[in-house]
Chains A and B, each alone.
Chain A
Amino acid sequence: MNINPVLLKELKVRMRGWRAAGIIILYLLVLALVTFMVMYESYNNIYTSTVDPGRTTGTYTALALIQLVLILFVAPALTAGAISGEREKQTLDLLLCTKLSTRSIVLGKLLASMSQVLLLIVASLPIFSVIFMFGGISIAEVAQLFAFYIIIAITAGSIGIFYSCYLKRTTAATVMTYGTGAFLILGTFFISYFYIGVFLGWDYQGFFPLLYTNPMVGFASLLGDQFGYGIGSIGLPGLRGSTDGRLLGLSPWVVHVAFDFVLTAVLIALSARKLNPVRVKRTRRNAA
C-alpha cells in the first residue's frame, strides 16, 4: 500500500521497452563469455584426471570475481544520474515541491536501481549453477555470496546517489563515483602499502585497518572463509596477522559489511539533507 511512489514510477519506466531486457542480455552475455574463457584456460593448462575440488573453487572464484566486477561497474552507472538527471531534465523541482520527503526521493531512486541490479544477479543464477556440477560449493555459500553482492551494490549505489545530489552534472557524478570506487579498491591498497613500507616495514605481520574498507579484501575474506583458509593465506602485507585480520572476533568481510552499512546510511542521510533546499540553508544560517 505504502510503496514509495518514486520507486514504483522508476520501475515502470525502467522496465519499459527493450532497454531493461537489453541490459540483462548484455550482462549475461559478458558474464557467460568471460566465465567460459576462464574455465577453458584452466582446463587446458592444468592436467588433472579426476574432478578436483580445487578446480571447482577456481571456477567459483573466477565466476564470483567477474560478477563482482560487473556489479561494481553497473551499480554506479544506474545511480549516478538518478538526481542530477532530474536536475538536468528540469523535473527535480516538480518532485521537490510535492510533499514527498527528500529521503523518500533518495531511497526510491536507490531501490529502483537496486531492483535492477538484483534482477541481474538473479538472472546470473543459471550460469552459477555450473559450479554445482562439480560439488564442493554449497547453495548456502552461493546465497552468502549473493547477499554480499547486494550489499556491495547498495553501497556503490549510494555513492552514486550521493554524488548525484551534490554535483550538478551526471557526467561529473559518474566520474566521481567511479573515482571513489577506484579509491576504495586500489587507493586503500596503495595507502596501506605506502604506510606499511614507510612506517611499519615490509615484515609487518598485522592486518592494516584501512583495508577493512576495501570491497576486494572483503570479497577475498568471504571466499577464504568459504574455502576454509583465512585471508592470511593470500600472503600480502597488510593482510597477514596471526588472527587472520579478525576484529572483535569477526572476519574482515563481516567488518567490511558493517562498514558498508554505516557508509550507506551516512551517504543516504547526507543526500537527503543536501536535496532539501530549505533545511540546508537554515543550518548554514544558524551556524553563521
Chain B
Amino acid sequence: METAQNVVWDGIVRGYAPPDVLDIDPSLTLQTAEAAEVDPITYEVIRNSLQNINLEHGSTIQKLSISPITMIVRDFQCAILTEVGDVMFLGPYLLYLGNTLGLTTKWILENRSASPGIEDGDVFLSTDPYVGSSHQQDTGLTSPVFWGSELFCWVSNSVHYSDIGGPVPGSFCLMSQDIWQDPPCFPPMKLAEGGKVRADMEDLFLRQSRLRDTVGMDLHAALAGLSVARGRILKLIERYGAETVKAVMKRTLDAGERAFQEKLDMIPDGRWSERVYTEASVPGDPGIYVSQINITKEGDTLYIDNEGSSPQVGSINNTYAGLVGATLAPLTIMLAYDLGGVSGGVSRRVKFRPVPGTITCCDYPGAVSAAGVFNMPMVVATATGAVAKMVACADPPLREKAIAMADAQAYGGWIFSGLNQYGQFFVGMSAGMAAGAIPASPGRDGVDTGGLFWVPGMEAANVEENELAWPVLTLYRRENSAGAAGAGMYRSGVGAEEAWVLHGTDHLDSQIYMNESFVKNQGLLGGNPGGRAFHRLKQQTDAAAQLAAGTVPQGLDQVSGDEVPLFYKGMPAVLDPTSMWTTNLPNFAGYGDPLDRDIAAIQIDLTDGKLSTKDALKVYGAVVNEAGQVDVDRTAEQRAMCRRERLAAATVGVSHA
C-alpha cells in the first residue's frame, strides 16, 4: 500500500500499512501453487462453496453468541483470506471490519512468523487498533489454515465484545486523552495453539472484562466460527486439491479487480471530497473538529487521503485501520455491489495516502476505544460523501449507484449498564436503530427504515428481545415523518424513534447517548442533509401512572416532568423509575434540489401521511388544495417564486476560498 514517505507505518508508533510484499520468516512455507486449468463448472462450485463456508462461519457466530449485538444485530464480520492475508470473501455484516482482518493477518505474518511462529491449529487474538482493529472492543481472531506443512489460507473474524475492560462499563472511554486511559490493547497473541485454547491467554483477555462470562461465551462462539470454516475449507481441498482451490481463490480476486476496474472506466478522472464536522473531543469540550476524506481518481486507481482532518485529540480518533475500513465500506457498496463480498480485488486499485496524527488517522498513543460509535460511523459517512459525489459523476447507469450519506451517528447509539431484572450486572448496546434509513440516490428515493447500508445483514432487534435481555419497557417505536430532514429531488428513507422506561430495576446508567448539538450529515448534490440525531430524557415523569391507568405515552411531550438537558457527550445519566427517554435516529441525506421533486412522489407521501401539507409547501414548494391534492399549476408558480426568493436572499461572488 502506498503511504507518505519517511514514516514508519509499523502498527506500533503508527497504524500498520502493509508493504506490497510482506517480510515473512522463511521458516513459514506458503502454499502458492495453483492449477493452470480449472473447468468453469468446478470453478463455480468451488467459488460458491468458499462463499458459503464464510456465510456458515458467520451464522455459527450468530447462533452461538449470547450478546444481542452479535446474536441479533450482526455487528461483526468474518472473512476468508489468502495465504498472504488478502481478504477474499467478506460476509454481509459490518463492512468496515473486513479490511481490519486483512491488516491484522498481514501484521501477524510479518511480526509473528519468526516468534512465536505460525503453525497449524493456532488462533491469534488481537485488540490492537494500531495493528488492525477499528477499536479495542472489535477484537479480531485470525487462524491459519494449513494443508500439509504449507500455509494455505486464513480464516478470521472480528466481533464486538460487550466489555473488555478499561475505566468505564462497555469500554467506550469518552474521557480518554490517550491509549493508557483506554481499555487494554493486546497486539496479536496466540489464544490457541495446536488446536487447543491456551488457558493463560484466555484468562489474560477475559480477566480485564466486567462481563467475563458473557465475553467468554462470545469468544467461544467466535472460535467455533473459525473451527467450522477451517474444517470446511480442508474438506474442499481434500476433494478438489489445494492447487485447484487456490486457483479459484486467485482468479476470483482477479475477476473482482477486473469488475471494479470496469466501474472505474465509467468514472472521469478528478478529485472529490467530503467534510463532516464533529464535536466534543472529551465530555465538556466545546470544540468542533473536522473529518475529511478526499478521493483522487487517476486512470485505473483511486488515491485516498484525509487531508483537512483535524489533528488528533481526546477520544475522537481512529487509526489507519479504521480509515481504510471506513473508506472501503462505501466503495464496496457503490462500486463492488456485484461481487458478493469479494473485496480483495477492489483494494488492489485503492491506494491510501493518509495524513498521520489526525483524528481520522491517529498515531500512538491516541485514544481510540470510542471510535466504534463515534469515529467509525463518522468516517464511513465522510467517505460515503466523497465516493457518492464521484460516482454521481459516472456515466449512466453507474451514477445511479451513488448513495447519499448515512448519519455520522448512524448507530443511534445508546449504551447503558447496571443490574438487570435478574440481578446481574450487564452492559447493553441498543441497536434498535438498526432499523436505519437508506439515504437517497440519483434517480431514486431511499428506503424508509431500510437498515444501515454498510451493514447489509444487520437486523433490528425485536422490542421483545430487548425487553427479555434488559430491564426496560419499550413504549413505542415509530417511523419519523419525511419532512425537511433528508429532503431532496429524491428523499432519504425515514429513520425512527423509540421510547423507554425502566422495568424490573430501579437504576441504570446511560453511558453513551447521542444528542447532537448540530446536524453532522451532508446532503448530496443539492439535497438536504439528514436530520439531527437526538436523545431526550425526562425525570419525575408520570409515565408509570399513565401506564397503570392503561395509557401508553406516545411522546416525551405527553408525560409530565422535567427534561434534563443532555449534551452530545455528557457524563453518565442516571435512569430511575420516574425516567422516560427517547432516541431518534434521523432521516439520512437527500439528493438534488427539493424544488425539482416529482409531484407524484410528493402526493404519495402526503397520502401516506408521511409528509405534512405545511412541509410540502415549505420544503418542496408544493401547494396542496383542500382535498389534499397537490395543485400542479399553483405549485409551478410557487416554485418559481421560491427560486426568486433564493436569489434575493443570496450573495454572489463572496469568496470563502
A binds B: no
Residues of B that sit less than 8 Å from A by CB: none
Residues of A that sit less than 8 Å from B by CB: none
